[in-house]
Amino acid sequence: MSSASDAAVKTAVGQPQASAGKRTTFWRLLVRNKLAVIGLIFILGWMLTAILSAWIAPHDPYGTDPVNKLLPPSAGHWFGTDNYGRDIFSRVVYGARISIWTGMIAVSISFVIGVPLGAIAGYYGGRTGSIIMRCMDILLAFPSLVLAMAIAAAMGPGLLSALIAVGIVGIPEFARLIHGQTISLREKEFVEASRAIGVKDSTILFRHIFPNALAPLLVNATLGMGFAILTSASLSFLGLGVKPPTAEWGAMISEGRAYIISGEWWIVTFPGLAIATAILGFNLLGDGLRDVLDPRLRSSK
């Protein structure tokens, strides 16, 4: 009895240590990936900018000043001013709040809806799985931006429309990914053993299959953030997303595009660089997570 209890204690003590060791190994491998670290710096920088925008912005992002309109970058206005005299640096800083959080919320919508649908389709198969996946194929049949434009136009311009449109467009990617993972996992011994002892299907899905498919889902979510930011900015650029004068990167580029020919390059350059660095950060971090979480890629290096 004592040896059995000692073994149980060792097992209970060893599990937290093992999980802590895995976390340590994960961070060590991630830090060794220089591009992933650069991406993480970009992401954290923009997240802090979004959170602290009220303290970082030196001017009112919506305050107009016709006397100082179309000023080039200077000590008083680091990124210059637009055609209404508004400080572009302050508007870029405030635009991070909308662009970053829009991407996060849109990806969350795609994740919360797409993952359960794909898991159910992969686990049960048959007619249920066919109906769900054919619906996903229909969504994938349209170009992503065109579908987002159609949804946003049907709902009317606005931030909520952009969120829902970008979220719906991303659902098929998560559904197809978890669908394939579920099909490969449902035949594993631990899943069959759970069925044999009468474990509920919902428990098998969320306690056995989902944790084993989480790594590729996290990678896809990270990469999807860049896509969501770009798509939401595109909708705002086309007039189907955030309405002016709201400070949003895509809307800022749309307002300043008429001034490129006359030489006021700064109006569109700095919002464009903000979009580029945010997308680059999520793409680099997503590639780094894929390298760290996929043992096949780790072993090949």
Bridge partners, 87 (sequence order): 81
Quote the pLDDT of residue 21: 57
Q: Which domain holds residue 288?
A: 45-53+79-299
Quote the pLDDT of residue 14: 45
Classify residue 259: in a domain, yes or no: yes
Quote the pLDDT of residue 20: 57
Q: Which CATH number do you get for residue 204?
A: 1.10.3720.10
CA 123 to chain centre: 26
Of 299, 288, 113, nearest to 218 (Cα)?
288
Classify residue 232: in a domain, yes or no: yes
Establish how many alpha carbons lie within 13 A of residue 257's alpha carbon, considering only the half-sphere containing its beta carbon: 8
Q: Which has more pLDDT, 208 or 167? A: 167
Question: Distance between CA 126 and CA 156 in Å, rounded?
Answer: 38
Q: Which has more pLDDT, 155 or 206? A: 155
pLDDT tens-digit series, residues 33-50? 888 899 999 999 999 999
Of 98, 18, 67, 37, nearest to 284 (Cα)?
37
Classify residue 71: in a domain, yes or no: no
Average pLDDT of the segment spanning 96-122: 92
Classify residue 64: in a domain, yes or no: no
Classify residue 33: in a domain, yes or no: no
pLDDT of 292 over the 70 cut: yes
pLDDT of 191 over the 70 cut: yes
Classify residue 162: in a domain, yes or no: yes
Question: Distance between CA 65 and CA 49 in Å, rounded?
Answer: 24
Classify residue 206: in a domain, yes or no: yes
Classify residue 92: in a domain, yes or no: yes
Q: Taking the model in full, what pTM does it have?
A: 0.84
- The tally of domains found in the chain comes to 1
Residue 298, token pair as written in the block: 């780790």
